[in-house]
């Protein structure tokens, strides 16, 4: 199918652009890796002195980091344009995409990539390996869960960064909502009570990004798997719908150029 060929070509071009500055690519990937590992040290310090946190041990935290980092890294590498979507909308960068015969959203997402995503993915895999939850047996399940998690991440990212269609300049808010999702996704679920947990499975879907996959890996069940996959599908579908509705209201950066 032509769209699939296009997506592949887009990804290849994107990768080539990212690699065009070879040195910067390596540094970004490497530094992100170190960044994630360093942050994990805090948990290591704490969990040396405390046996567990409501049933969660260091290995479980490592698994959480692993899922979040890998799926986030995947989104940044393959669909890195999501973080830039808000600015693209506000400054009329969607113009060129809209005049070409391919889905504008796909194009916008695949137009950018950041080497830090590779660093995230590598650190994520390392964390998963450290956690003991990644075995030959569990590997296929881990892959599926990471894909579902990444899809959810991408979906909510698209929604957050599409807010400018309706609300104008919201770059800060969009970024903060996105950061919040990541932040919450890196803390164990048992820390959060009822109301908050509801929020974390809806507006700020850290629940679908990491809690469900984590639950699946600690205690597999088909219900949980269906929920994780279903959640991912819903998020992506909603995101596409939101974006397409937003395009109808697109005003093409007339903020800058006086209309005319």
Partner 1 sequence: MSTAPAIRIHGLTKTFRVARTTLVRAVDGLTLAIAPGERVAFIGPNGAGKSTTLKVLSGILHPDEGEATVLGYVPWRDRRTLAFEIGTVFGQRSQLWYHLPPRDTFALLARVYEVDSSVHRRRLASLVEAFDLGACLDTPVRQLSLGQRMRAEIVASLLHAPRVLFLDEPTIGLDVSAKAAIRGLLRGQSQDGHATLLLTSHDTGDIEHVCERVVILHQGKVLWDGSIDGLRRRYMKTRRLTLWSEAEQLTLDLPGARVLAARPHVTEIALDPGTTPVGALVDAACRQGLLHDLTIEDTPLDEVIREIYGEAARHVS
Partner 2 sequence: MTPRVAKYVAFGRVAAAHALENRAELGGRMAFVAIILGVFSSLWRAVAEHGIPIAADRAALVWYLAATEWIVLTAPTAHVDIEREIRSGDITCHLTRPFSYPLALVAQGIGMILVRGPFVGLAAFVCGVVLTGGAPSPTLLARFVPFAFMAMLLVYGLHVVIGLLAFWLTDVTPVFWIAQKLLFVLGGLMLPLTLYPDWMQRLAHLTPFPAMLGGPAGLLVPATAPDTVRLARDLAVWIVVVAIVARTLFERAVRTLQVSGG
> Which two tokens mark 90?
């506000």
The answer to the question of residue 13 lying near partner 1 (CB under 8 A) is yes
Which of 226, 88, 205, 213 shows the shortest CA–CA distance to 155? 205
The answer to the question of residue 199 lying near partner 2 (CB under 8 A) is no
Query: Candidates 7-15, 123-131, 172-180, 225-233 — which segment interacts with partner 1 by CB under 8 A?
Result: 7-15
State which of positions 109-128 bind partner 2 (CB under 8 A): 116
Cα(56)–Cα(68) distance, rounded to whole angstroms?
A: 16
Member of 172, 219, 223, 259 binding partner 2 (CB under 8 A): 172
Member of 49, 137, 257, 260 binding partner 2 (CB under 8 A): 49
Of the pair 10, 77, the CB lying nearest partner 2 is at 77
Member of 168, 190, 220, 230 binding partner 2 (CB under 8 A): 190
Of the pair 10, 121, the CB lying nearest partner 2 is at 121
Which of 94, 233, 217, 59 shows the shortest CA–CA distance to 152? 233
Query: H/E/C letters for each residue in 46-106?
Result: HHHHCCCECCECHHHHHHHHHHHHHHHHHHHHHCHHHHHHHHHHHCCCHHHHHCCCCCHHH
Cα(205)–Cα(174) distance, rounded to whole angstroms?
A: 14
Q: Which residue has the tokens 């007339």?
A: 254
- Number of other residues whose CB lies within 10 A of the CB of residue 248: 7
The answer to the question of residue 27 lying near partner 2 (CB under 8 A) is yes
In whole angstroms, how close is the CB of 11 to partner 1 at the nearest point? 10
Give the residues lining the site for partner 2 (CB under 8 A): 21, 23-24, 27-28, 30-32, 34-35, 38-39, 41-42, 45-46, 48-54, 116, 170, 172-173, 176, 179-180, 183-184, 187, 190-193, 196
């Amino acid at each position: 199918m032509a769209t699939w060929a296009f997506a592949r070509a887009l990804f290849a071009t994107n990768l080539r652009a990212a690699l065009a500055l070879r040195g910067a690519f390596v540094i970004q990937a490497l530094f992100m890796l170190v960044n994630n590992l360093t942050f994990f040290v805090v948990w290591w310090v704490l969990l040396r002195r405390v046996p567990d946190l409501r049933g969660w041990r260091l290995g479980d935290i490592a698994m959480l980091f692993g899922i979040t980092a890998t799926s986030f890294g995947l989104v940044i590498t393959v669909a890195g344009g999501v973080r830039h979507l808000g600015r693209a909308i506000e400054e009329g960068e969607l113009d060129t995409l809209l005049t070409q015969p391919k889905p504008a959203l796909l194009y916008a997402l695949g137009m950018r990539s950041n080497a830090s995503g590779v660093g995230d993915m590598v650190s994520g895999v390392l964390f998963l390996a450290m956690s003991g939850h990644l075995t030959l047996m569990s590997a296929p399940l881990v892959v599926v869960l990471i894909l579902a998690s990444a899809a959810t991440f991408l979906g909510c990212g698209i929604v957050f960064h599409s807010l400018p269609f309706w609300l104008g300049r919201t770059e800060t808010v969009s970024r903060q909502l996105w950061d919040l999702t990541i932040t919450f996704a890196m803390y164990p679920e048992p820390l959060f009570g009822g109301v908050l947990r509801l929020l974390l499975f809806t507006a700020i879907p850290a629940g679908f990004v990491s809690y469900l996959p984590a639950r699946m890996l600690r205690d597999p069940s088909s219900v949980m798997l269906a929920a994780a996959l279903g959640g991912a599908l819903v998020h992506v579908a909603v995101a596409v719908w939101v974006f397409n509705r937003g395009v109808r209201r697109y005003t093409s950066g007339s903020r800058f150029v006086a209309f005319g």
